[in-house]
């Protein structure tokens, strides 16, 4: 079938690495991609890094150019961290209160800093895991700027 004029053949159109790997049947499993993100490794190639700062995601993988920067984890990592830290730390709080009845200032002096440290340490790996999860679900394939509808802004209105 001849190509239409002005339309490049499909194999020459740029697509995310995840789409090419998925078509080739080589995309890693969900668990593998989440684990790679958790370990600050690119979910696709396991070579590049996910983060350029504590929580800042690189625009694209330095090794395979997967567009990790378009994956917006938003509130999911803090939600998961609070869920995990709460379920791990709250039962001991109740148990210690019941068994020893320490004064409230001691509860606050111990548990609040512990919550802060645990949540801070968990946030980055959990966000990396969420990035891997989103990459596996194909979020990077559908959230590229050139595929979004035109933005509605106040300056383009007729009124």
Residues that bind Zn ion (CB under 5 A): 42, 44-45, 48, 61, 63-64, 66
User: How far apart are CB 61 and Zn ion at their closest, in Å?
Assistant: 3
Are 130 and 51 spatial neighbours (Cβ–Cβ below 8 Å)?
no
Task: Report the candidate in 54, 62, 63, 61 with the shortest Cα–Cα distance to residue 135.
Answer: 61
Whose Cβ is closer to Zn ion: residue 40's or residue 89's? 40
Q: How far apart are CA 159 and CA 152, in angstroms?
A: 13
Polymer length of the chain: 159
Q: How many other C-beta atoms can be found within 10 angstroms of the C-beta atom of residue 149?
A: 5
> Which of 110, 135, 152 is closest to 30 using CA atoms?
135
Q: In whole angstroms, how close is the CB of 17 to Zn ion at the nearest point?
A: 7
- Of the two residues 33 and 44, which places its CB atom closer to Zn ion in the complex? 44
Is the CB of 46 or the CB of 82 nearer to Zn ion? 46
Least Å from the CB of residue 148 to Zn ion: 23
Distance in Å, CB of 123 to Zn ion, minimum: 22
Q: What is the DSSP letter of 5?
A: T
Min CB(48)–Zn ion separation in Å:
4
Nearer to Zn ion, 60 or 124 (CB): 60
Under 8 Å between Cβ of 61 and 44: yes
Strand, coil or helix: 136: helix
Which lies closer to Zn ion via its Cβ, residue 46 or residue 80?
46
């Amino acid at each position: 079938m001849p190509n239409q004029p002005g339309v490049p053949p499909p194999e020459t159109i740029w697509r995310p690495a995840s789409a090419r790997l998925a078509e080739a049947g080589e995309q890693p499993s969900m668990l593998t991609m989440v684990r790679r993100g958790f370990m600050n490794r690119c979910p696709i190639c396991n070579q590049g890094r996910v983060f350029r700062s504590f929580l800042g995601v690189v625009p694209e993988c330095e090794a395979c150019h997967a567009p990790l920067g378009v994956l917006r984890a938003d509130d999911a990592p803090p939600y998961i961290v609070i869920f995990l830290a709460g379920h791990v730390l709250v039962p001991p709080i109740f148990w210690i209160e019941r068994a020893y009845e320490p004064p409230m200032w001691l509860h606050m002096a111990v548990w609040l800093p512990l919550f802060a440290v645990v949540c801070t340490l968990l946030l980055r790996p959990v966000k990396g895991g969420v990035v891997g999860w989103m990459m596996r679900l194909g979020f990077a394939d559908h959230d590229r700027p050139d595929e979004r509808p035109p933005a509605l802004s106040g300056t383009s209105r007729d009124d």
